[in-house]
Amino acid sequence: MSKRRTAVAITLAGVVSAGVLAAALPSQADPAPTATDVVGVGSDIIQNSVDFLGDGYSWSGGSLPGYNTAGNKNRLISFSATADGNGRNAFTDPALGTVGKLNPTIVLRAGTSPVQRPNGGGAGLNALIADGNATNGGRISFVRSPNKPTSAQQTSAGNSLHTALHTVQFADDKQYIATATTTNAPATLTTGDLVKIYSGTWTTWGDVAAGVTPGAHTGETIVPLLPQDGAGVQTIFLNALKAANGGTAITLGGAVQKVQQNDPTTITALPDATRKNAIVPFPKGRYELLGAGFFHDPTPVYNSESPAPALSNAGIQLLTSGSNFIADIPYYVVFRESDVDSDTPWQPGSTLNWVQTLFYNPDYDPEEPGDVTPPFVASAAGKAILESIGLTPLYVDHGNTTTG
């Protein structure tokens, strides 16, 4: 067995501005992966970063190559969590009558039947566990997830896959509170404040002492918004409130409204009086991608000569200073433990398997690299891509540990 090391966080000297992404659109198509391609599913908040790692991007002044752009025979394929490139759920055509939510499918490997598309880290982990081992199934190679497997999932993996699940963190994002740019909220909202707001103990800005000018908007009712059930960013937010509440999960107050995650319009589309009192947890990485013009308005019919206007983060702001709420959003990839030590080379002419090539080489130590090849996520090209979309590149092996 290969020697294993838990690596340390990697920093990058040359930071690439997220602003260069305005014309940087990696492929969002659903290909039909071959038997030797590496296939990932899972979290929507993490999918854009893995798309960029696979396909890279370019703009008028230069480019950053991804793994697939180097002409490698076998590819890194990362399926989007939903059928929509903006990370939203798919719906039936309004022209056909009542709009209804669909259950989209994907073809995980060429020549196989479509299966339900795993939407979210938890769904991806369950799909991997149900996928069988490399000789009996094995359509899914890895899962994108903001949470490590649970102990129950590890037990199920042992029974189903006859191996544990192995987790590696390749980047870190931050979650802050977003408000409208013109807001009645104070400049500071601590985690303790949010425990009281989201549990319904505090309902007006007058209940929040810090940062509120006496007599100014103190009677305004707070509008606490929360990402929808099943969203990894909801789990991260509620876990942070649980920790600040002495380890006891909060019971959500009646004013809490569930909304589409990572979408500025959940605030900006509200009536003026409501918008000024709304708050919602929001990831920094998605905020910066919106600010860079990565996402475009899907309403107009496609026209290459007259591209749809870019969506933006205009109208919202993140509360990032001082003692404001902040939570880590770890970017994990999870795969079969048995794949770490596989002796099957992935690319022609290489001695490395696909895990060692892309995500985790047990012999590589960034502090003492020597002549060991780093996995792509820890290479100069991989780190530059992650930095450019507002993430902190990391290279941390969590082995088969569990969440919580």
Question: Of 328, 345, 376, at which residue does a domain stop?
Answer: 328
Q: Are residues 201 and 322 in the same domain?
A: yes
Give the Cα-Cα-Cα angle 23, 80, 65 (nearest 5 degrees).
Answer: 40
Domain assignment present for 404: no
- The answer as to whether 3 is a domain residue is no
Query: Which residues form the domain of 24?
Result: 18-173+331-399
Residue with tokens 């890279």, as numbered in its chain: 56
Q: Does residue 262 contact residue 283 with C-beta atoms inside 8 Å?
A: yes
Last residue within a domain, chosen from 312, 328, 344: 328
Same domain for 221 and 118? no
pLDDT of residue 182: 95
Are 303 and 183 members of one domain?
yes
Count how many domains the chain has.
2
What is the maximum span of the chain, computed from C-alpha positions, in angstroms? 72
Q: What is the value of pTM for the model shown?
A: 0.81
> Among residues 302, 328, 354, which one ends one of the domains?
328
User: Is residue 191 domain-shared with residue 168, that is, in the same domain?
Assistant: no
Question: How remote is the C-alpha of 152 from its chain's centroid?
Answer: 23
pLDDT of residue 12: 37
User: Is 13 within a domain?
Assistant: no
404 residues of the chain, pLDDT tens digit each: 444 444 444 433 333 333 333 333 343 446 679 999 999 999 888 988 999 999 987 643 457 889 998 888 999 999 988 776 666 666 655 555 666 766 778 888 888 888 888 888 888 999 999 998 655 568 999 999 998 999 999 999 999 999 999 999 999 999 999 999 999 999 999 999 999 999 999 999 999 865 555 555 688 999 999 988 877 788 899 999 999 999 999 999 999 999 888 899 999 999 999 999 999 999 998 898 888 888 888 788 877 788 788 889 999 999 999 999 999 999 999 999 999 999 999 999 999 999 999 999 999 998 887 889 899 999 999 999 999 888 999 999 999 999 86
Per residue, the 3-state secondary structure of 299-352, as one string, reads CCCCCCCCCCCECCCCCEEEECCCCCCCEEEEEEEEEEHHHHCCCCCCCCCCCC
8 located within any domain: no
Has residue 6 been placed in a domain?
Answer: no
Q: Name the amino acid, one letter, at 89.
A: N
Within this chain, do residues 296 and 186 fall inside the same structural domain, yes or no?
A: yes
| CATH code of the domain in which 370 resides | 3.40.190.10
In a domain, 145, yes or no: yes
